[in-house]
Structure 1
Amino acid sequence: MELMQPLDAAFLLAESREHPMHVGALMLFEPPADAGPEYVRGVYERMVADVNYHPTYLKRPVSPIGNVSTWAWAQDDEIDVEYHIRRVAMPSPGRIRELLSVVSRWHGTLLDRHRPLWEAHIIEGLADGRFAVYMKVHHALMDGVSALRHLERRMSTDPNADDCPAFWARRDAPARTAARKSPVSPLRAVLDGGAKVASGLAELVPDAVRIGQKAIGDKDLVLPGTAPKTMLNVPIGGARRFAAQSWEIKRINAVRDAAGVSVNDVVLAMCAGALRIYLAEHDGLPDRSLNAFVPISTRAADKDEALGNAVGVILCRLGTEIADPKERLAVISASMNSGKDLYRSVGPISGLAWTLAALSPMLAAPVPGALSIAPQSFNVIVSNVPGPRQPMYWNGAKLTGMYPVSVVAEGQALNITLTNNDENLDFGLIGCRRSVPHLQHILTHLETALQELEAAYA
């Protein structure tokens, strides 16, 4: 038995029927030139046969002390393969539109807590000859960064490689027959976890002073509870709508170089411009700037292979009340730099406390009446997850799209997540089907916002 980390347990605690807390990815693959009509069936059978599961994919949540709460992991010895790994065919005509519609429905359904918290769908029947893999894994098991990194490491840069494991399998690890660690008692797990927390408490007072000084003296630092309420910050239902599109990274890099900012700053400016247009279309653009929740990885370099959650948050001012794209980008860049400075100046316990403070309005939103009276910390989630920067292959099949499918929550009806994929940035937008009408229009507005930035820096 393994004690959950507090942030991991929070994702299970926050979950309900209307608020699934899993992350996912939709990967599109181009089969090898010599692939026959039974190729995808062979892909499915090869994946099912790979039973050398990574330990994370054998974990399920348990409540060691009655049903007080779920705060520990049990490790299963095996899984129901046909439940977790599914082969499906797209209905005719097999366009990407139908694929995104199906993924929207799958992403709105809960994972079974009596089993390890993941599913994979191997999808054939696309009109353009490609096949797809949609995977979802509970956020309690891994964050978006570790999830996409885990998937990437099951692929190869060699188009002729034929030794890539299934996406849920170990890579270059001992077989399942290797000796397991001795089980840890619930009491021992609690004591060990408590010791780790206690060792970091000494940093809280000096860090609190630093945060207070920065909050007073830094006008670019966005504080929790300072976001306006918008049409995106409303109660949500359980149904989802997913939209996806790719942009050439060389276009974003050209704006980055001309403006002297980061790629992520340009991406946030694209999102800010798109939301400004979208909200204005719906008579919902506030006079004050929207704030974005921008997750950052807090995982140490020597823990690069680790799964689980190691994430902090920067609250970024998007400048959506500003018409000029150059001025808006400058506001975004200054806000992000201020947030990064804050994290560099405090320890991990204080960083977690800041993250929980930023998240507190969202965590309180399910409480009846809280959403209408609690101040908002952010209006939208925008996450840029590192991905492969060169062509990737899975046993000869070329990865042509890697679209993140993330989380929305009560009071946070829209999430924009993107990742690198060779020469592109692949954007995945997920929203509440009821609360975010015509979500796919935001893709058009992202292109418009990028064109405005390109023109401003031409």
Structure 2
Amino acid sequence: MPRQLHSIDRIFLDMETPDNSMGITPLYFYDPSGLANGTFNIEALLEHIDQCVRSIPVLCGKLHRTPLDLDNPYLVEDKNYEVNNHVTHYVLKDSSSIKDLSNAITQYQERTLDTSKPLWDAMVISGINIKTLPKDCFLIALKIHHAVADGMTLMNLTAKLHGQIEIGAPVKLASNSSLLSGGLLGMASRVFANNLKQSIQLVNPLLKVAPRLSVNAINYFFDNLNKSNEPVAQTRFAGNVTPKRVWGYTPLAIEPLNRVRKLLPSCSLNDVLLTVIAGALREYLESKNELPDVAMRAMAPINVRSEGEVGAAGNEISMMSLSLPVEIADPMERLVEVIKFTSNAKEQQLKLGSRNVSELAKNLPAAYLSYMNKIVSSSSANKMVSKLGNTVVTNVPGPKEELNMLGARLINMAGIGPVSDGVGLLHGVMSYNGNMVVNVVSCPSMIPDIKFYIQCLKNSYESLLQAADARYSNLVSEELSQALINETH
């Protein structure tokens, strides 16, 4: 049976333009000293990557699209697949230059994937000699189209690359000819049947979600009847993105963040992270004289995989809108406001059921998506998206212990992902081996000084830790308990 993308996957495919790559790219930094003879070997690396890719259906298949895109695309066998056609070995002009390394990564991310081939490629950079990295460090940038992978898919691939999960046997996909065997009539019948099936499958989640949506809408109206309207802050990130990208990252130690988390009831590590990001945005926008007087919003993808779908490929996500109270100067007061908003958002998600919302999106009929693509202009879509949030914040839990590949120690993980018109700023967070790495992606017209913004993240992190220590360090346990209760009520 041919493997078919669902409608969330299809949306990510349709979002890509020649100027806007929808690739998600984990970056793996390695110490080569543990390799055979302590030497980097591109042939051995290619063979290992090839084995991993051949065991993952969404990576070894190419797209087959139907006429007029009236059905969601299929993944079929690529008889011409060769790993050498997907991996580029790159050597920096200046092996000690952070700027050269960053430029190589952003230029790589800017290029869209060739959709006539399996939807991934990789760039390997060897012989990196930046002071903060081991001698002759090498990097793998592994770009995969968002149409076939989300953050959890990447973590599954990461586990295979580093021996945490058995690679498994090569998969066999249906051939392109099997989809064409019935001729035009057979194709038309399949398109009709699939759209009908999606419409039927839409009924169950719709019946679960629609009544709850109505009740929640009524409750929201009465709850906010006497409150002022709270618009989404208008910022420089709401415009159209350019083809160029800027990227930067900073590791934040998790243990101090966990100390702050334990101070306040109902506080999560994500709440602390959002507070750090809000503080960084406050400092950055204030330096541009653009600080809004209302909270910004973060669009946060939610993993909705069941226990049996942990290793599933594709996109199994819902979306939540969270607060970034940049208008609040005090870091701890900012954290309290984040907790209040997040608790309410989680409650709403619980009532709706994140899985139900995801199933609704996954089963939107393909013909409807094709129709909407034709009638909704890019500017209208931009305005709709910008009303949902100012930035996307993703948080993908990674391995807690140090990994190695073929003997090479994985010293750091980072990542770079897509931005889009209307939401031109991405905070991609990955955790690995005791650190939480915050990656920032935008375009130069929105963040022309990415190093300064990364410094703003570091400043916000330190300010939050200092504020927590200053507020609670002198209180005895009983006083502390009462103070924490008062903070969140």
CA distance in 2, matches of 1:91, 1:176: 39
CA distance in 2, matches of 1:276, 1:300: 37
Q: Which amino acid aligns with 1:13?
A: D
Residue 61 (structure 2) aligns with: 59
Residue 424 (structure 1) aligns with: 435
Residue 456 (structure 1) aligns with: 467
After the TM superposition, which residues 158-173 of structure 1 pair with which residues of structure 2 at under 5 Å, given as runs?
A: 171-173=166-168
**Per-residue deviation, 1:144:** 1.9
| More deviation, 316-325/47-56 | 47-56
Residue 482 (structure 2) aligns with: none
Of 248, 254, 258, 2:259 maps to: 254
Q: Which amino acid aligns with 1:156?
A: G
Encode CA deviations 1:315-360: one digit per residue, 9 max, x unaligned. Answer: 111111111111111111111122222222124344566999xxxx
Aligned to 2:342, what secondary structure does the other structure show? helix
**Is contact 2:77–2:174 with CA below 8 Å preserved after alignment?**
no
Aligned to 1:125, what secondary structure does the other structure show? strand
Encode CA deviations 1:50-72: one digit per residue, 9 max, x unaligned. Answer: 373421112333322x2345721
Of 418, 426, 436, 1:415 maps to: 426
Of 117, 120, 135, 1:118 maps to: 120
Q: Which amino acid aligns with 2:112?
A: L
Residue 250 (structure 2) aligns with: 245
Classify 1:286/1:388 alpha carbon distance in 2 versus 1 (closer, same or farther; 3 Å).
same
Of 308, 324, 345, 2:330 maps to: 324
CA distance in 1, matches of 2:361, 2:343: 16
After the TM superposition, which residues 292-371 of structure 1 pair with which residues of structure 2 at under 5 Å, given as runs?
A: 292-347=298-353, 348-350=355-357, 367-368=378-379, 371=382
Of 198, 201, 207, 2:212 maps to: 207
| More deviation, 75-84/9-18 | 75-84
| More deviation, 40-49/380-389 | 40-49
CA distance in 1, matches of 2:457, 2:222: 34
CA distance in 1, matches of 2:109, 2:359: 28
TM (norm. structure 1) is 0.86
Classify 1:227/1:354 alpha carbon distance in 2 versus 1 (closer, same or farther; 3 Å).
farther
TM (norm. structure 2) is 0.81
CA distance in 2, matches of 1:244, 1:365: 35
Aligned to 1:284, what secondary structure does the other structure show? coil
**Per-residue deviation, 1:154:** 2.8
Encode CA deviations 1:112-149: one digit per residue, 9 max, x unaligned. Answer: 11111111112202013211100111111011222233
- Is 1:174 matched with 2:155? no
**Is contact 2:46–2:84 with CA below 8 Å preserved after alignment?**
no
**Is contact 1:207–1:350 with CA below 8 Å preserved after alignment?**
no
| More deviation, 33-42/400-409 | 33-42
After the TM superposition, which residues 39-78 of structure 1 pair with which residues of structure 2 at under 5 Å, given as runs?
A: 39-47=40-48, 50=51, 52-64=54-66, 66-68=67-69, 71-78=72-79
**Is contact 1:44–1:122 with CA below 8 Å preserved after alignment?**
no
Higher helix share: 2
CA distance in 2, matches of 1:353, 1:106: 34
- Is 1:22 matched with 2:28? no
Residue 158 (structure 2) aligns with: 151
After the TM superposition, which residues 131-150 of structure 1 pair with which residues of structure 2 at under 5 Å, given as runs?
A: 131-150=138-157
Q: Which amino acid aligns with 1:404?
A: G
Classify 1:150/1:218 alpha carbon distance in 2 versus 1 (closer, same or farther; 3 Å).
farther
| More deviation, 105-114/335-344 | 335-344
**Per-residue deviation, 1:172:** 4.3
Encode CA deviations 1:363-419: one digit per residue, 9 max, x unaligned. Answer: 999624665698622111111111111111112211111112111000211101111
> Which has the higher Rg, Structure 1 or Structure 2?
2
**Is contact 2:62–2:118 with CA below 8 Å preserved after alignment?**
yes
Classify 1:398/1:210 alpha carbon distance in 2 versus 1 (closer, same or farther; 3 Å).
farther
Residue 231 (structure 2) aligns with: 226
Classify 1:366/1:285 alpha carbon distance in 2 versus 1 (closer, same or farther; 3 Å).
farther
CA distance in 2, matches of 1:72, 1:373: 26
Aligned to 2:68, what secondary structure does the other structure show? coil
Residue 436 (structure 1) aligns with: 447
CA distance in 1, matches of 2:399, 2:420: 28
Q: Which amino acid aligns with 1:141?
A: V
CA distance in 2, matches of 1:319, 1:205: 30
CA distance in 2, matches of 1:420, 1:48: 23
CA distance in 2, matches of 1:331, 1:354: 30
CA distance in 2, matches of 1:250, 1:238: 37
Residue 7 (structure 1) aligns with: 8
Classify 1:47/1:89 alpha carbon distance in 2 versus 1 (closer, same or farther; 3 Å).
farther
Encode CA deviations 1:138-168: one digit per residue, 9 max, x unaligned. Answer: 11101122223322343136xxxxxx8xxxx
**Per-residue deviation, 1:212:** 1.5
CA distance in 1, matches of 2:423, 2:319: 15
Encode CA deviations 1:149-198: one digit per residue, 9 max, x unaligned. Answer: 322343136xxxxxx8xxxxxx4433447999x96763454444343223
**Per-residue deviation, 1:36:** 3.8
Aligned to 2:450, what secondary structure does the other structure show? coil
**Per-residue deviation, 1:202:** 2.1
**Is contact 1:156–1:394 with CA below 8 Å preserved after alignment?**
yes
Encode CA deviations 1:246-265: one digit per residue, 9 max, x unaligned. Answer: 12111211211223411111
After the TM superposition, which residues 31-42 of structure 1 pair with which residues of structure 2 at under 5 Å, given as runs?
A: 31-33=32-34, 35-36=36-37, 38-42=39-43
Classify 1:365/1:198 alpha carbon distance in 2 versus 1 (closer, same or farther; 3 Å).
closer
Encode CA deviations 1:50-99: one digit per residue, 9 max, x unaligned. Answer: 373421112333322x2345721131244132221222222223334322
CA distance in 1, matches of 2:95, 2:136: 12
Aligned to 2:237, what secondary structure does the other structure show? coil
Residue 99 (structure 1) aligns with: 101
CA distance in 2, matches of 1:272, 1:10: 29
CA distance in 1, matches of 2:417, 2:32: 26
Residue 409 (structure 2) aligns with: 398
Aligned to 1:314, what secondary structure does the other structure show? strand
| More deviation, 283-292/205-214 | 205-214
Classify 1:276/1:365 alpha carbon distance in 2 versus 1 (closer, same or farther; 3 Å).
farther
| Identity between Structure 1 and Structure 2 (%) | 22
Aligned to 2:394, what secondary structure does the other structure show? strand
Classify 1:154/1:93 alpha carbon distance in 2 versus 1 (closer, same or farther; 3 Å).
closer
CA distance in 1, matches of 2:223, 2:466: 31
Aligned to 1:420, what secondary structure does the other structure show? strand
